[in-house]
Every structure is written in structure tokens, then in C-alpha cells.
Amino acid sequence: MRREIGSRAPIVSMPPMLAYQAVRVLGWMVGDVINTSDEVSGLMQEKLYVQSPPLGSTRLSDWVRASREEIGRRYASELQRRLNRESDYQ
């Protein structure tokens, strides 16, 4: 994905709870909740996926290729989206 969109952002490995604390600070900066501690725990326990076949037909790689000009260009607040379900993602 990084290569496909031409990102030069570094990928940094760190302990999960340190990453969670960093994301909490980032969330505070943008006024959003980016990840919860339960989500981090679920990721570490490999619980945030299912074994069933996908319901959609679009491959992630195809979507990334088609959307590469838009990916990462603006921030969409999931918290704001949940508070206002009438509006589209901006």
C-alpha cells in the first residue's frame, strides 16, 4: 500500500501500548478517538478478523490503485461521522 501510493512515511515498530499512547496523543490533537485500548488488545490477539468469505467484491489492492490520489490527503473523523450520520465522509 505504501509503495502503491508513493508514501515516504516511515514504518516504525514499537510495543503495542507505547503505540497506543502515541495514538491517544494524536487523537487528542485532532479531536478524535483513533484507537481504543480494546482495539489494540484485539489486534494483538488476532481477534479483529473473521474466517468467513468476504462480502464485498473489491480487492484492497484494486481499491488502493484506484484511490491512490486521495488516500492520506485529508483526515476523516470517525467520531464526527458517528455523531452526524446524515452527512457523507468529507
Question: Binning pLDDT at 50, 70 and 90, where does residue 47 land?
Answer: confident
The number of folded domains in the chain is 1
74 φ, ψ (degrees, to nearest 5): -145, 160
- pLDDT computed for residue 86 by the predictor: 66
Domain span at residue 6 reads 2-83
Residue 90 pLDDT > 80, yes or no?
no
Residue 88 maps to a domain: no
Q: How far, in Å, CA of 15 to CA of 18, rounded?
A: 5
Instruction: With respect to residue 68, please indicate whether it lies within any of the assigned structural domains.
Output: yes
Q: Would you state the torsion angle of the CA atoms of residues 66, 72, 75, 79, taken in this order, to the nearest 10 degrees?
A: 70
Residue 74 lies in a domain: yes
**Prediction pTM value:** 0.64
Question: What is the structure's pLDDT at 88?
Answer: 59
Let me know if residue 89 belongs to a domain. Answer: no
Cα 20–Cα 16–Cα 6 angle in degrees, nearest 5: 80
Asked whether the beta carbons of 27 and 20 are under 8 A apart, the reply is: no
Contact of 78 with 36, CB cutoff 8 Å: no
Residue 2 grid cell:
505504501
